Amino acid sequence: MDEVSTEFLAYIIGIIILIIFYIIKLPRIGANEPPLVPYTIPILGHTYNYFFNARNFFKKCKEQYGECFSIYVFGRVMTIVSRSSLNEVFINHKDFKLALSEFLPFDMLFENISDFDKVTQLNAKLVKEITGKIDSYTPIIQKYLLEGIDKFIGDCKDPKEFLSIWELMNHIIALPMANIIVGEEVASHEDVVKSFGVFVFDIGRIRTIPPIFSFIHPKLHDFVTTLPLRFGWNPILHHQKIMINHIKPVIEKRIKEKKMLDKDYKFYNDTLEFYISQPDFDYSNPKIFHYYIDVLFVLIFGSVGTTSEIITNGIFDLAGRPECLNELYEEAMIIDKECNGSITLPDVQKMKKLDSFVKEVLRHSDDTLKFLHKVTSESFTFSNGYTVPKGRRVNLYMDDVLKSKDAYGDDAEEFKPFRFVNANSSASKVDRNYAVFGGGKHACPGRFFAIHEIKLILHKLILKYNIKTKSGKIENKKYIGPISLPPKKALIFENRK
Ligand code: HEM
């Protein structure tokens, strides 16, 4: 064969491969499914709009296609569910499951856990127990928050500029969280507290690769992103080692005490006691002990980064609005005077303006879509008649819920810090128009604890510092497609006179 005909053959084969690829990748939508929004570029589908124009794109799609519609992103169909149907996803646990593994390879990260549902149930039980004792934890939270603020922000007689505010807040709240979760003795080690603070960011590094390989096949993306793990780089191992080294001697000590004191044994006020008291707990069996260390890290993963993200958003929302900061300062001063600086649970409950502010911060978290689920039953039919098949990715249109004019009025888009002051609607209350903590049976059990801690730290920061954005403006969040992250801008802290 001469050179020209070889080239021609290669060209034809290339075109055939492309056509086959195109046919394989054509989205298939069943008869009764939510409509697929048309698109112009094959294979790419709606990926560009999903990534670079999320807010406007989903608004237009809803106006045109209604409550439920489907889009084609990263080589797969995804159904978007808006406000009226969204709650059906939360309450039908047999049909939908939160698809966390789409973001992180949990089964590879936490090698000692085989049943994540069991772990979630155990941690949910633990969190409900600590919520019941929130009053007894308040002095511990307060003590270590103050220690963290002093250590990481300190004296700002001369204004100080801080750049990585989310990391800063993570380090501060790691202190009270570590003291409550693993207890004061274990948390007295600096590397333990540091692990609490950086663990979420270390894991997050796996998430940084956008799912471009999913255009070929989702499994290829999973394979590529887990390559470092397959070659032995697991960001958890280092933290596990630290925790095992410091927790083991404390457990040994407590078990000895228990034997010696029997009924007179005084339970420590931390969640380590909860794990130790589980019937199958055995620290001398490495398999069981390492399993519980992983369970502990799942709790840290779900509790520290989430809380510090909202605190960070809150500080930016304050720093850009001096009039709001002043009004909250006045409320904080009155409460601080009444309790002489030592806050109790009823004092936190008195912070009505702060509670309303925190709720508005959460309402403005600004994720267009959130809570990616997967259909786990054969199919699910919404009350509007649309059916989604098994395996379908279902994402929730949070903007449509949290910025709903029906629920929040014509000014729903506006940030109004004191919107809820007289509304008898606290920041931790779950309802269908305020789904920031999920909904149904699995709604976040840590929300009372989280709001309590967020209010406490903001109260202490507002009392101590005047906080401003360096630019003097309200800073925008960072957007990665339909997901938002706190602004990555500088803040100035200055002591109050
Ligand atoms: C502002 C901070 C927080 C936010 C925004 C948040 C949000 C959420 C969300 C959206 C869920 C899933 C709900 C669902 O599946 O429907 C969840 C579950 C959970 N959260 Fe939180 N969370 C926060 C803080 C915390 C804290 C501080 C703790 C622990 C002290 C915690 C413990 C849990 C647990 C154990 C679950 C699993 C519940 C279950 O599946 O039954 N969370 N959280």
Q: What is the pLDDT of residues 461-491, one digit of tens each?
A: 999 999 999 999 999 999 999 999 999 999 9
What's the 300 CA to ligand 1 centre distance in angstroms?
11
Say which residues have a Cβ less than 8 Å from residue 419's Cβ, sequence separation at least 6.
Answer: 356, 359, 360, 408
Lowest mean pLDDT among 75-84, 103-112, 136-145, 187-196: 103-112
The pLDDT, as a whole number, for residue 226 is: 82
pLDDT at 18 > cutoff 60: yes
Mean pLDDT for the stretch of residues 125-150: 96
What's the 38 CA to ligand 1 centre distance in angstroms?
36
pLDDT at 28 > cutoff 90: no
Q: What is the pLDDT of residues 250-305, one digit of tens each?
A: 999 999 999 999 999 999 999 999 999 999 999 999 999 999 999 999 999 999 99
Q: How many CB atoms lie within 10 A of CB 485?
A: 16
pLDDT above 70 covers a percentage of the chain that reads: 97
Q: What is the pLDDT of residues 328-377, one digit of tens each?
A: 999 999 999 999 999 999 999 999 999 999 999 999 999 999 999 999 99
What's the 125 CA to ligand 1 centre distance in angstroms?
12
How high does pLDDT run on average in the chain?
Answer: 93
Atom of ligand 1 nearest to the CA of 453: 27
The pLDDT, as a whole number, for residue 13 is: 83
pLDDT at 17 > cutoff 80: no
Query: For 29-495, CATH number?
Result: 1.10.630.10
The pLDDT, as a whole number, for residue 105 is: 84
pLDDT above 90 covers a percentage of the chain that reads: 81
The pLDDT, as a whole number, for residue 9 is: 85
Residue of minimum CA distance from atom 41 in ligand 1: 442
Mean pLDDT for the stretch of residues 381-386: 96
pLDDT at 52 > cutoff 90: yes
Residue of minimum CA distance from atom 18 in ligand 1: 444
Per-residue burial over 77-111, b = 16 or more CB atoms within 10 Å of its CB, e = otherwise: bbbbbbbbbbbbbbebeebbbbbeebebebeebbe
Which position has the higher pLDDT, 353 or 19? 353
pLDDT at 230 > cutoff 90: no
Say which residues have a Cβ less than 8 Å from residue 184's Cβ, sequence separation at least 6.
Answer: 140, 270
Confidence of residue 311 (pLDDT cuts 50, 70, 90): very high
Residue of minimum CA distance from atom 36 in ligand 1: 444
Instruction: Report the candidate in 405, 400, 453 with the shortest Cα–Cα distance to residue 428.
Output: 453
The pLDDT, as a whole number, for residue 27 is: 66
Atom of ligand 1 nearest to the CA of 438: 16
What's the 192 CA to ligand 1 centre distance in angstroms?
22
Question: Using N-to-C axis directions, what is the helix angle for 116-132 and 134-152, rounded to 10°?
Answer: 100
Q: Distance (Å, rounded) from C-alpha 438 to C-alpha 87?
A: 9
pLDDT at 453 > cutoff 90: yes
Q: Of the residues 270, 444, 447, 451, which should be mutated to test ligand 1's pocket, given the most ligand atoms within 8 Å of the CB?
A: 444
Atom of ligand 1 nearest to the CA of 439: 16
Mean pLDDT for the stretch of residues 207-220: 75
Confidence of residue 8 (pLDDT cuts 50, 70, 90): confident
In the structure, which protein residues have their CB atom closer than 6 angstroms to any atom of ligand 1?
Answer: 90, 98, 120, 123-124, 127, 302-303, 306-307, 310, 436-439, 442-446, 449-450
Q: Distance (Å, rounded) from C-alpha 398 to C-alpha 211?
A: 22
Say which residues have a Cβ less than 8 Å from residue 62's Cβ, sequence separation at least 6.
Answer: 69, 80, 82, 397, 400
Tokens of 91: 């309450």
The pLDDT, as a whole number, for residue 42 is: 83
Q: Are 59 and 41 in contact (CB under 8 A)?
A: no
**Which segments are annotated as binding site for heme?**
444
Mean pLDDT for the stretch of residues 46-56: 95
What's the 322 CA to ligand 1 centre distance in angstroms?
31
Q: How many CB atoms lie within 10 A of CB 73?
A: 24
Lowest mean pLDDT among 86-90, 101-105, 142-146, 491-495: 101-105
Confidence of residue 173 (pLDDT cuts 50, 70, 90): very high
Residue of minimum CA distance from atom 15 in ligand 1: 442
Q: Distance (Å, rounded) from C-alpha 251 to C-alpha 273?
A: 9
Vertex 413: Cα angle to 409 and 414 (nearest 5): 95
Atom of ligand 1 nearest to the CA of 450: 27
Atom of ligand 1 nearest to the CA of 90: 16
Mean pLDDT for the stretch of residues 81-99: 94
Q: Which residue reads 């969280």 in tokens?
A: 177
The pLDDT, as a whole number, for residue 24 is: 63
Instruction: Report the candidate in 405, 454, 401 with the shortest Cα–Cα distance to residue 426.
Output: 454
What's the 445 CA to ligand 1 centre distance in angstroms?
6
Residue 13's alpha-carbon distances to 25, 26, 43, in angstroms, are 18, 20, 19
**Which segments are annotated as binding site?**
444
What's the 444 CA to ligand 1 centre distance in angstroms?
4
Instruction: Report the candidate in 154, 138, 181 with the shortest Cα–Cα distance to residue 495.
Output: 154
Mean pLDDT for the stretch of residues 46-64: 96
Strand partners, 291: none
The pLDDT, as a whole number, for residue 220 is: 82
pLDDT at 1 > cutoff 60: no
